[in-house]
Each structure stands twice: as structure tokens, then as C-alpha cells.
Structure 1
Amino acid sequence: MATTMTLVAYEHQTLRLGDTPGLREAHLTALLALQERHAARWFMPLRQGIKLTSYVGVMQVPGLTLEILPKLDDPHRARTGDAEAAHWQHVLLRLLKATHQLPVTVPSAAALAQARHSMLDVFIAAFLTQVETLLRQGLKKQYRPVEGNQRVLRGRLLFAQQLRHNLVHAEQFYTRAHTYDATHPLHALLRQALHVASAVATSEQLATRARSMLGQWPEMPPVAVPTELPVLTHATARYRPALELALLLLQRHSPAPQAGRTTAVALLFDMNRLFESYVAQQVRRAAPALHCRVAAQASQYLWHDVAVRPDIVVTLPGGATVVLDTKWKVPTSQRPSAADLQQLLAYCHLWGAAHGLLVYPTNPSPHPSRSTQQPYAPGRLAIAVQGHVLFADILLPDGRLNLDFGRQLLSYLMTLPQ
């Protein structure tokens, strides 16, 4: 296996040649080519470098594995040491597992600090475990029609094809028969993902596991990779965990022409969307017990055919509506920006809400989530609107996700005057 350097960076960080140890021009060229092939905006090109954006996860190109981790503090603060990287890697994997419902076993932050794991390898290991489970249970088989020459007459003889192919080969029979085997489109997808896993795994042990499973997997031609999980039946429902991880690998990888058979992969996630999904999930989970209703991603027209949508709309037990907008950033001096406040005010007017809440993340502390509230300046056409800012502890002091966050947020909303 070719030597691959692992580089750990944080969102919004700038990586430049000469300033970033181990980063070479060939790495930058491959990263830029990978982004262009996916028509993505994972980072901004700079002169002899790139500036990362809000995307986190892992990218791998020939010779380089780039891990991009989230942060909750000053973007200019220097970060060093495996312990801090392991902490944020653990947090990111926990968020991905919670929001994407992926069957990923997340090592503890202490275990990650003691033995560095590539995040890519964490996903590959989870995928291989699911594939091993399917092999152990036995792959689904089905009947399928097969046409071709046979030495023995079995099935239906196709006379036109027999005359075309076997006019001078009377010992062969061109037939159509049904065979019972494991050839199935789902198995083709999993086989393609096994090929990717064997090529991009940074661990030789994982690559060997993937190659071993390929040897046990039925041969079949590749199929088009779908954009969404295929519809599963009762008989194929057990394939869901393996297919979810397979699509994660297949949809975000591409060949690297300059490296022959080597492949490149980018398992990246927008932290803004990830934070929004986590808040919505926690609030939705806590809502029934508190007799609240939650709507996520509901949109309304702001002007003509221009639609806007807040992240979350909560209806309290008394019928009052509160609009929530999540922001994955640490605002300067703990004050919301004018743009954030203007956006929230527009949402409140469109949804007829007297209260709007901006939800920012904060570093975990032994203290409860902090909040402030101020009324918007009155306008001639405006209803009275209170703007609230909540700095939410989505993490506990020990680094675990705060699974009581949804109840805490809704409990705060229920104290608001209606």
C-alpha cells in the first residue's frame, strides 16, 4: 500500500504550501481536481493553498488523507496535539451517528488519542462489519432468466438464436432458463463499495478484510449508483445498514486519473446542516412529552417566487408559534450579527410569531445554556417581536452529546409570555 500522510485541520482554517508541514503541490492539485469533479464548494482556492469552509469530514487523494474537524472557539487559535483532535473527531462521529442514523461504532476520545484512527477507516470498518453480517446470514437469492449456449438442453430452446449462433455447432443449445443465485442489484452496489473500501482504506488490515470479502462475493457487473437508498422489501430490510454506508462511499468517491487505479474520496458534511439536523432531531424527540408540535424545513414565499424557510418552527401547547434559526458559529463578543437578527425578524413576521430564537453552540460547561432576549425596535407595520439568543450546550463537559438538549430548549420556550 502506498504511503499516505494524514493531515488534521479545522473548519475555516487556511492551508498553504510551506506553512502546512507535509502539504505538497501535488496534494493541492489533487484536492482541487476532486472538488471540481464533484462540482462542490468544500474549500476556496488560494494562491499556493486553500481555505477550508464549513465542511468537515475526511478527504483522501493520492499521498494525503485530510481530516477536517469542527471547532467552537476562535478560528485563529492554534491547535496542536492528538488529544484535542481526538476530542473533536469523537464529537463529529457522534453527531454523524445521531443525525444520519449510521451504524458506526464510535471509539471514545481517549481511545482515539491513544491510537490515531482515520475517520475514513471508522466508516470503512463499520461497512465491512455490516457486510460480514450479511455473508454470515446468507445473501438473498432469487430466480432470474439467463439466455445463452448450453451443452445440455435445459429450459426453452430459442430457435432463431439457435440458427444464428449454432448452425455449425449442433452440440450446443441456445436456451432461456431460470437460475437461482445471488445475482442482485443490491449485491452489485455492495461489491462496488467493497472495491472502493479496499482501495482507499488507510489501514492495511482493513484493506485486506475488504479484499477477502470480495473473494467471497458473487461476481457481477457494476450498476449505476443511485442518489437515494433503493426501496427495500421485507426480505431485504436487513441490507439497510450496509447499503447506507455503501452509498456514503460510492456517492463521494471518484477515480484519480493521475494515479492510475488509485481512487479519491471525500466524505464531507456541512456543519451548518449537521447542527441544524441535530437540534431539530433533539427538539422533535422531546416535543411529544411536552405537548409541543415541531415542523422542520417549512417554507413560505417572501417575495413573488422567492421562498424562505426557518430551520425549525415550534408550536407551544397554548398555540403560540416560536421560530428557531440555528447558527453553527461563535459570534463576536457573544452578540448576534445584524444579518442573523434581520433574518430572524423576517421569519417571525411571515409565521406570525411573537418570539424568534437564534440558537448558537457553545463549549460545554458545568453551567446551563445561557440565553438573552431583547425586543426588536417597533416598526410602523410591525407586530411586536421578541428576539432571543440561546448559547446552547450541545455537549456535556465530558465530551458526550447532551441528549437532554431538546427538553431543555422546549422548557425555555414554554416560559415565554404568550
Structure 2
Amino acid sequence: MNRTITIAEYDRIHINDVLQGIKITQKDILELRNFIDESNGEISSLSEYLKPIRNGVQANNYVGVLQTKSGLTIEILPKISRTHQNHVEVKKLFIRMLRTVKQINGKSFDMSHLSEHKNNVLELFISMFISEVDRILKRGLKSDYITTRSNETFLKGKLLLQQQIQHNSVNKAKFYTEFDEFEVDGAENQIIKTTLTYLLSLSHEAKNQRLIREQLLCFENVNVTYNPPVTFQLISKKRQFSYYERAIKWAEIFLKRKSFTSFKGSSLAFALLFPMEAIFEAYIADKMKRAFPDFKVGTQEQQYFLFDGHGGSKSSYRLRPDIIIRSNHESGNVVIVDTKWKLLKADGPSQSDLYQMYAYFTRYRHHSETVVKVILLYPKSDHYGERVFKSFNFSDNQSDLEAKIEVKYIDLFSNNIESQLQNIVADF
């Protein structure tokens, strides 16, 4: 039975809740809470992905899909604003944003081909893997020489004396040998077949199931691996088989159950979770590059430190703004943008965010960069208006701009994201 529910960031689910016609059982909540407990003590904190609450759990700011062993699939979508609660619309936006992600937590992926027309997020990622396997099949399955040990009726390859004595001391007509055979049953193909077999049990969509069965026919002469971690280590890095790379990366996500996160454990059947801050930043950076094709748009620059005389010391605090836009004109103007995946409330930006932007403005100007302004960019909010924070340095009856921090919003559901960004950066 397909038990799939869709929630947003920070939504809560409790025992006996009925969501989209699906009843949440005590076993569902127990497995989710066990997942939280297993994640405790890892690099992440206990409640990074899910937070335990009375008789239930609460989602945090990780989005994607997870499935319990009892069969409950939970799609967690971005929480955009109170005015956008249409899950279909939000899901399409989420996929559009996800397509721009190139790397998360050190893992590189090409998700530019994700289709926003699929209704189920889990099936969407399964179809991505199917597409990668299809690319492999069109190029041809990798064949290679594989070392085999076998008790044969004739001498082939190298005779293994110790095994010969152990197995054939009575039957002298056999030879325990080691030899190389050119075949498709290599580590890469075993990983692909194992992943397809696993996803066949995970998928509930008829089309994906049909495609997986068709692909498995091509792996008839390939064995399933029952120890994927060891098999992953045996994968060859030969350049002529680089077309396997994407499929192997997706297979690692599915089989190792590590997702784009750092959790471990066995309470969940599957989890593919993304930090929403990273998705928002990647999306805005991609749109910025399109909005300003004649400018230099960089991301995660690490050029300067918060303090002078760093000498490579960690305590000097390297600055790492999300997006830097540099003009190619003689002015050399610079705009610094930090994306913040928060729905601002009436009290406005946090003090730490403003301190961070003030540091960017002053330190980049200290290094003779012509910083025009720095921008805190949030998804659209109805509770706090756009505004500008300024500070001045007064000396000799004159005032020089010491810092200019702008709080700006982006309407993610708009069709003219690039025009919005041009207006936000404005007098550049």
C-alpha cells in the first residue's frame, strides 16, 4: 500500500493524525523517533533533521523525502509563506530550485534534468537513477577481466596448491585454479543491479517499476552484491568508463542511505534530505549569473579575513559571503549578497545576520574594494518590510558612509526572478 504524505518545513505529525487520508500509526512515529536517536552523536545535532515532540515529531529545515520501514513515505517541502500552501505548486518550485544545485556537503551531482511534472518526490529521484542507467545501457555495459577462483575439470590459469590439496586430495581429476575472465559481472554493474533491485521494492509508480524490470533484463549475467560498501571500494576509476560516474553516485545515495546528510542508522528504509539554506543559495546564485551576464558573479569567496595579520591562523575567521557581484567597469563596484532561508517576522533580521553583513562591508572596503552595499536576501515575507540600515563615520564636519545593509525579498513564485534580482541590486 502506498502511504505517502506531504508536509512542509517545521510541520508536526502526531500519532493518530490523518493527513491526506493516511493515518499516522504509533509504529510510524516510533521509527521516526528511533531515527532521531540514531542521528544523535553524529556531526549533526539530535534535532537537525527531525525534532521529537510529545506523541510525534516535527520537521526542521531539511527538505526532500524519507520512508519508514513500516511503509510511510514523507515528502518534506519548503515552507514558503502562509499564502502559498498548494503542495503541487510548492513541489514544482522545489524541483526548479533543486535543479540548480551542483554540490551539497561535498557531494557533486547533476540534477539539471529533474522533471517538475512528477507528483511524487521519491519517484522523481528513482526516475533520475533510471535515466542514468539508461545512459549506461546505450553506451554498453562495462566488461573487464575479473579474477575468478574455481574448481575446474581441466587446468586453466594458475593452480592454487593450498586449495588443491584442501579440496582435491581425493578427487585427482579436478584442478583448483585462479584465472581471469572477460565478463560484465564487475563491481560497477553489481552496484547498478543491486540498486535497481532495491528501487524496484521501493517504487510504487507503475512506469518506474516497468522501466526497472526492463533494465534488469540487461543485467541478467550480473550478480547482486550483498556487501555494497566492499563492492564500492572495488569500482574502477578508468577514464573510458567515466559514463558510469553519475549512476554510481546516485547508487551510493540509495544503498548507503547517507543522503546529502551525515546521519547513520537503520530505522529508516530510505532518506534523501537536503539542507534548504544550500538549495536557496544555489538557486539565487544561478539566477544572479543569468541576471548579470556581463559581471563577475562568484560564490563562497574566501579571499579575506575578519582580522589582519592572520598568518594562516584559524582564529582569524575567514570571511565567506554567499554571492559576490563585481562590475567589469572602471568603477570596480562590488555588491555582496547573503541568502537567508528564513521567513522574517515583525522583529526583522537577527542581530548576528546584521553583524555578519557589517563585517563584510567594512572588511572588503578595508581591502580597497568599492563595496556599494551588502544585501540580506530573504524569501518574500508579509510581516517585515524591506529597509536599509546605514551607519556613518563623522569626522571634520563631514560624514562618510561606513556601512549600508539592505534587507530585500525575492518572490520565488514569480516568473521574472532575474528581473527582480536586477532591481534588487539596482544602482550597481
The normalised TM-score by structure 2 is 0.77
Kept in 2, the 8 Å contact 1:59–1:67? The answer is yes
Pick from 321, 324, 349 the counterpart of residue 362 of structure 2: 349
Q: How does 1:147-166 map to 2 (within 5 A)?
A: 147-166=149-168
Aligned residues of 2:378 and 2:408 also touching (Cα < 8 A): yes
The separation in 1 between residues aligned to 2:96 and 2:84, in whole angstroms, is: 24
Please state if 1:290 is matched with 2:294.
Answer: yes
Q: CA deviation at 1:371?
A: 6.2
* 2:389 paired residue number: 374
CA deviation string 1:277-316 (max 9, x = no partner): 12223334555x3132524252755472554522123333
Q: What is the one-letter code of the residue matched to 1:291?
A: F
CA change 1:118–1:414 in 2 (3 A) is closer
Give 1:358's aligned residue. Answer: 376
Matched, 1:316 2:324: no
User: d(CA) in 2 for partners of 1:341 and 1:412?
Assistant: 18
C-alpha distance in structure 2 between counterparts of 1:78 and 1:393, whole Å? 11
In 2, Cα distance between equivalents of 1:231 and 1:271: 34
Q: Which residue number in structure 2 is paired with residue 367 of structure 1?
A: none
Q: Where does residue 409 of structure 1 map in the other structure?
A: 421
Deviations 1:210-264 (A, max 9, x none): 3554454210533318999x8854422322342343233234368856xxxxx61
Gaps of 5+ in 2: 103-109, 259-263, 308-314, 366-370
CA contact (8 A) 2:296 2:327 kept: yes
Q: Which amino acid aligns with 1:9?
A: I
1:206–1:47: structure 2 CA closer, same or farther, 3 Å change rule? same
Write the distance in 2 (CA, Å) between the matches of 1:172 and 1:283.
70
Corresponding residue pairs, total: 381
**Structure 1 unpaired stretches of 5+:** 258-262, 364-369
CA deviations 1:324-381 (Å, max 9, x no partner) are 2101122124943433222211222333345211111238xxxxxx96433136599x
How far residue 13 of structure 1 moved from its aligned partner, in angstroms, is 1.6
Q: CA deviation at 1:71?
A: 2.5
The whole-number CA distance in structure 1 between the counterparts of 2:403 and 2:124 is 46
Compared CA separation, residues 225 and 123, structure 1 to 2 (3 A): farther
Q: Percent identity?
A: 24
RMSD: 3.4
Aligned residue number for residue 2 of structure 2: 4
SS at match of 2:88: helix
Structure 2 partner of 1:51: 58
Query: Residues 261-272 of structure 1 correspond to what in structure 2 (within 5 A)?
Result: 264-272=269-277
Shift of 1:66: 0.9
Q: Which of 278, 283, 290 is 2:283 aligned to?
A: 278
Q: Does 1:65 align with 2:73?
A: yes
Which residue is equivalent to 2:178?
Answer: 176
Give the 3 Å change call, closer, same or farther, for CA 49–20 of structure 1 in structure 2: farther
Secondary structure, counterpart of 1:376 in structure 2: strand
Q: Distance in 2 between matches of 1:231 and 1:142?
A: 10
Of 380, 387, 392, which aligns to 2:405?
387
- CA distance in structure 2 between the aligned counterparts of 1:151 and 1:173, rounded to whole angstroms: 6
Equivalent residue of 2:375, what SS? strand
* Contact 1:193-1:250 at 8 Å conserved across structures: yes
> Cα distance, 1:178 vs. partner?
1.4
- Judged with a 3 Å threshold, the aligned counterparts in structure 2 of structure 1 residues 153 and 227 are, in CA distance, closer, same or farther, namely closer
Shift of 1:70: 1.1
Taking a change above 3 Å as real, the CA distance of residues 211 and 33 of structure 1, as seen in their structure-2 partners, is farther
Question: How far 1:49 moved relative to its partner?
Answer: 1.7
Question: What letter corresponds to residue 345 of structure 2 in structure 1?
Answer: T
8 Å contact 2:361–2:404 — kept in the other structure?
A: no
- 1:328 is matched with which residue: 341, 344, 359? 341
